[in-house]
Amino acid sequence: MEVTAVQGDITRQQVDAVVNAANHRMRGGGGVDGAIHRAGGRAILDDCIRRFPDGLATGDAGWTTAGDLPAAWVIHVVGPNRHAGQTDRGLLLSCYSRALEVADELGARIVAFPLVSAGVYGWPKDDAIAAPLEVFRSAMTAVEEARLVAFDAPTYELIREALG
């Protein structure tokens, strides 16, 4: 699997699936979650409500339609919230491995990922970059490209450096 870094808006990526850093309720929110729900339209929320009436557990993943996004699917993951005492790195790793499993179930070959938990959930950025790279390097998946999407230039440069 090729791992690439992109600076830009995850909601505009021309990919098979976009990964959403959702909260456990899966009803929209701030950051990446809010951006995906706004850009994708009501269809994403309606599908979240229908498919996940009780939300998702931290570390888990599930998919919905992508609504008006250029992708076919949104793969929602619930990252650990360090500010709420969720410090188990295994939960963060699980977000990426479960997202790849869901992508394989869907037949998605190009998947755009945000840095899960790196925003308001307070995960240290260096580890928020190291965690997906660790999973991607050892994953047995049919995904051909895992695209790490950074909204800002400093984060993009950190990802590029980590990729070598």
> Any idea which residues carry the catalytic annotation?
33
d(CA 145, CA 2): 5
The three-point CA angle 140-144-145 to 5° equals 110
Output the six-digit token pair for 19: 């990964």
Any idea how long the chain is?
164
Cβ(31)–Cβ(39) below 8 Å = no
d(CA 15, CA 147): 9
Cβ(116)–Cβ(79) below 8 Å = yes
